[in-house]
Amino acid sequence: MIFVDSNVAIDALDPDSPFHGWAQDRLADALDGGVFFNHIVVAELAARAISVEELQRMLDLLRIPVEPLTDEVAFRAGQAFKAWIRNGGRRGALLPDFVIGAHASVNGARVLTRDPRRFRSYFPELDLILPEPTND
């Protein structure tokens, strides 16, 4: 299973993104093997939509199943967020990243993302699928 991070979903929908082709190719590959995201990603997509109907069109284009959050996911996210605060992070910021990391971790999923920072620090067990670095 592969958890699709919001930045990859957004890139796949945005033909102007420099990561558009990479995101579309990775999603096409991943759809055959099982992918998912959660309502945190849906909310981040909704911030780019002007209506529920437009959001639904985005979700239809992506064809990625939305999996519900569980108490175990919420607990794991909260524990990682607490560790981040103990390490000097700000309260109130970035909780969605921790929920995404926890959801992937609890489900034993890989993460398709282009932003590995918090995943590597707070969910080191995750296998990340990242774009290849370029020399541009």
Query: Could you tell me the pLDDT band of residue 95, with boundaries at 50, 70 and 90?
Result: confident
Strand intervals (E) in 56-109:
none
The answer to whether the beta carbons of residues 81 and 99 sit under 8 Å apart is no
In this prediction the pTM is 0.89
Q: CA–CA separation, 75 vs 111, rounded Å?
A: 19
Provide the pLDDT for residue 93: 58
Query: For residues 42, 14, 116 and 109, what is the CA-based torsion angle, rounded to 10 degrees?
Result: 50
97 annotated to bind ligand:
yes
Higher-confidence residue of 97 and 127: namely: 127
In our burial notation (b when 16+ CB lie closer than 10 A, e otherwise), range 57-96 reads ebbeebebeebeeeeebeebbeebbeebeeeebeeeeeeb
Q: CA–CA separation, 127 vs 136, rounded Å?
A: 26
14 annotated to bind ligand:
no
Q: Tell me: the pLDDT tens digits for 71-85?
A: 999 999 999 999 988
User: In order of start, what are the domains of the chain with their CATH numbers?
Assistant: 2-129 (3.40.50.1010)
Query: Could you tell me the pLDDT band of residue 132, with boundaries at 50, 70 and 90?
Result: confident
Q: Tell me: the pLDDT tens digits for 33-67?
A: 899 999 999 999 999 999 999 999 999 999 999 99
